[in-house]
């Protein structure tokens, strides 16, 4: 029997008798990322990076000079997973900063969640020049959307393989590990308590997204359904949807179509015009959620 089968069997049985115990174990597992080493193809880019430490200990890698582009990887991810995109951005004249999320890489912490990811983006942005763009993969994309509701200012934003609703991600995890109904409800409540925000609020449909953007997803993503991208795009009138036929959850990060679409967004005349309108009218990036 595989370890996953054993976990599912244990949760299904014990979760009916002691739902709080099982929910607590899965809550810890859900918030505690594994430390996964970089792949060989990431190492050259890692060697060429400048390691920087931000004010509160958050670690990041930096490449190039020029308008600032801030990157946030996904759960159990790494900055160098963006290797192809980083190289394209640097060649195009952008300065790229890619974060180690809380409890990932060299950044401090043992547990993380989407709210902590979002606050890390806010911390980084406070120490960087005005941001040309923020790009997030998976949970990094969800946290970037959330960060704009908490005060993050950026001219444009790109989400890649990101969930539209955090409650959906919680339910998928609970189903994946075999939590019965009562334990599932307690698990969601525990995650909400750790994040300090109701999961129902963490939903792109509730956000004010009044800046240009790009929503990217692959049809064969087995971790986050591609319908999530359609939901984000529907809630975000200024976004373009790039639906790739393949690339899974992470391989699409190296897709040339993604890099081309990002450069098109950053170079768009509409981007500068939108930024100017926000500066004149004072509209945009107002916190829509309680922090």
CA-closest candidate to residue 259, choices 42, 40, 49, 82: 82
From first to last of its 291 residues, what are the pLDDT tens digits of the chain?
468 788 777 777 766 878 899 889 999 999 999 999 999 999 999 999 999 999 889 999 999 999 999 999 999 999 999 999 999 999 999 999 999 999 999 999 999 999 999 999 999 999 999 999 999 999 999 999 999 999 999 999 999 999 999 999 999 999 989 999 889 999 999 999 999 999 999 999 999 999 999 999 999 999 999 999 999 999 999 999 999 999 999 999 999 999 999 999 999 745 554 555 444 444 333 333 433
| Torsion from C-alpha of 192, 107, 124, 95, nearest 10 degrees | -130
Q: Is the pTM of this model over 0.85?
A: yes
> Can you tell me the distance from the alpha carbon of 144 to that of 134, in angstroms, rounded to the nearest whole number?
7
- Residue 255: per-residue pLDDT: 97
Residue 133 DSSP label: E
> Can you tell me the distance from the alpha carbon of 88 to that of 136, in angstroms, rounded to the nearest whole number?
16
- Residue 263: per-residue pLDDT: 97
CB 91 within 8 A of CB 65: no
SS3 (DSSP) at 109? coil
Q: What is the DSSP string of 221-252?
A: -SSS-THHHHHHHHH-TTEEEEEESS-TTTGG
Provide Rg for the chain, Cα atoms: 19
């Amino acid at each position: 029997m595989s370890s996953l089968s054993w976990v599912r069997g244990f949760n299904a049985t014990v979760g009916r008798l002691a739902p709080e115990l099982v929910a607590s174990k899965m809550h810890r597992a859900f918030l505690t990322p594994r430390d996964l080493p970089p792949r060989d193809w990431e190492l050259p880019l890692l060697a060429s990076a400048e390691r920087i430490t931000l004010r509160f200990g958050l670690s990041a890698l930096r490449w190039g000079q020029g308008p600032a582009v801030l990157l946030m990887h996904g759960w159990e991810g790494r900055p160098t997973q963006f290797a192809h995109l980083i190289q394209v951005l640097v060649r195009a004249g952008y300065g790229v900063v890619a974060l180690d999320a809380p409890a990932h890489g060299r950044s401090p912490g043992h547990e993380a969640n989407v709210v902590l990811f979002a606050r890390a983006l806010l911390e980084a942005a406070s120490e960087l020049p005005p941001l040309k763009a923020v790009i997030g993969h998976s949970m990094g994309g969800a946290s970037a959307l959330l960060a704009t509701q908490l005060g993050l200012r950026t001219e444009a934003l790109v989400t890649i393989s990101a969930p539209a609703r955090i409650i959906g991600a919680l339910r998928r995890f609970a189903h994946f590990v075999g939590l019965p109904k009562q334990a599932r409800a307690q698990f969601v409540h525990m995650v909400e308590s750790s994040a300090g925000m109701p999961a129902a609020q963490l939903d792109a449909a509730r956000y004010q997204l009044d800046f240009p953007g790009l929503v990217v997803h692959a049809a064969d993503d087995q971790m986050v359904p591609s319908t999530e991208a359609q939901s984000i795009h529907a809630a975000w009138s200024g976004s373009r949807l790039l639906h790739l036929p393949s690339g899974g959850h992470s391989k699409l990060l190296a897709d040339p179509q993604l890099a081309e679409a990002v450069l098109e967004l950053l170079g768009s005349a509409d981007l500068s015009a939108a930024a100017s309108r926000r500066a004149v009218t004072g509209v945009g990036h107002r916190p829509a959620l309680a922090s």
